[in-house]
Amino acid sequence: MGRQSDHERGLLKYLGSSASEVGSANVHLATNVRRVPRSFATRLPWWRHRGVTKSKERVIATVPGDHRVNERIRVETVRLIDNEGNQRGVMATREALALARSLDLDLVEIAPTAQPPVCRIMDYGKFKFDEAQKAKESRRKTLNVGVKEMKYRPKIGPGDFDTKTRLVEKFLNDGHKVKVTIMFRGRESAHPELGKKILDRIVEKLDDVAKVESAAKLDGRNMIMVLGPEKKAKPKVAESPRVAEQEVAAPSVSVEVNAEEG
């Protein structure tokens, strides 16, 4: 052992032990704290991994939005709904699982917070497939509403006007707003009334599906108007004249028959 400092010699004298005894006791000389070897540390029934405490027991967890199925249901009793939607009342979980197995179906926990939890007998694979299809259809129908733009010229022809206006109507029916821009070039900017006439024609043609959210205004060499979708109730379809004639003619026929019988 190397040379000892005055502090170490004083500490050894105070403890009344030799350097070998201190080393065997594994005492930190500066702090006088006994260090416990890792092999003799108390073993706890849990362990830590990256700062998260985890149990040694087998934890049966479910993904958020998922369901516990069959053996993953660990409660003693459940309230059972059979595959036909009939209430079976409260019964032991093993009996409900046996009944589901006998029907070649699954026991699915649909209300885990109830007391006791509510379970239903169903084909879980088919149920998950239907749920996925519904979610896919819902995402497909979700509209990413935005602002579309359609540009016109003051001297646009009838064909181009109808084509562009049909596209504007399609955007409005899809739930989008449409920014209609009239582009002026050269001396056309001296006649803004030409662009105003085109915008009035667009509003008149799309009166059933569009509403003016921003009136026409000049912005440099352009005239801009913003249209928004308008949901109007469809008028009730009137009955066809043929049906009305049949309803009117029916009583007359019955009267004639009664007259002949009289």
Cis peptide leading into residue 37 (ω within 30°): no
- Closest CA relative to residue 241, chosen from 249, 233, 253: 249
* Tens of pLDDT, residues 75-112: 999 999 998 889 989 999 999 999 999 999 999 999 98
Residue-level pLDDT at 63: 45
Mention every residue, 6+ apart, whose C-beta is less than 8 A from residue 184. 154, 192, 195, 221, 222, 223
Is the separation of the CB atoms in 133 and 163 below 8 Å?
no
Q: 53 is written with which tokens?
A: 């405490």
Decide which of 52 and 223 is more confident. Answer: 223
Looking at residue 117, what is its pLDDT? 92
What per-residue confidence (pLDDT) applies to 159?
93
CA torsion sign for 137, 121, 93, 89 is positive
Statement: residue 42 has pLDDT above 90: no
Of 250 and 161, more confident: 161
Report which of residues 230 and 48 the model is more confident about. 230
Q: For 200-211, give one letter per residue: b (16+ CB within 10 A) or e.
A: eebbebbeebbe
Q: How confident is the model at residue 147 (pLDDT cuts 50, 70, 90)?
A: confident
Pairing of strands 147-152, 77-81: unpaired
220 pLDDT above the threshold of 90: no
Q: Which residue has the higher pLDDT, 138 or 122?
A: 122
- Residue 146: the pLDDT is 79
What are the residue boundaries of the structural domains of the chain, listed by start?
A: 6-37, 70-137, 147-229
Average pLDDT, the chain: 75
- Of 103-112, 148-157, 160-169, 236-245, the one with minimum mean pLDDT is 236-245
Would the pLDDT of 163 be above 90? yes
What band does 136 get if pLDDT is binned at 50, 70 and 90? confident
CATH for 147-229 is: 3.30.110.10
Residue 94's φ and ψ, nearest 5 degrees, are -65, -35
pLDDT digits (tens, 9 = 90+) for 194-217: 999 999 999 999 988 999 998 999
Quick one: pLDDT at residue 22? Answer: 44
Superfamily of domain 70-137: Translation initiation factor 3 (IF-3), N-terminal domain (3.10.20.80)
pLDDT computed for residue 198 by the predictor: 93
Distance separating alpha carbons of residues 107 and 121, to the nearest angstrom: 5
The confidence band for 60, taking pLDDT boundaries of 50, 70 and 90, is very low
> What values do phi and psi take at 251, rounded to 5?
-65, -35
pLDDT at 16 over 80: no
With bands split at pLDDT 50, 70 and 90, how would you rate the model's confidence at 139? Answer: confident
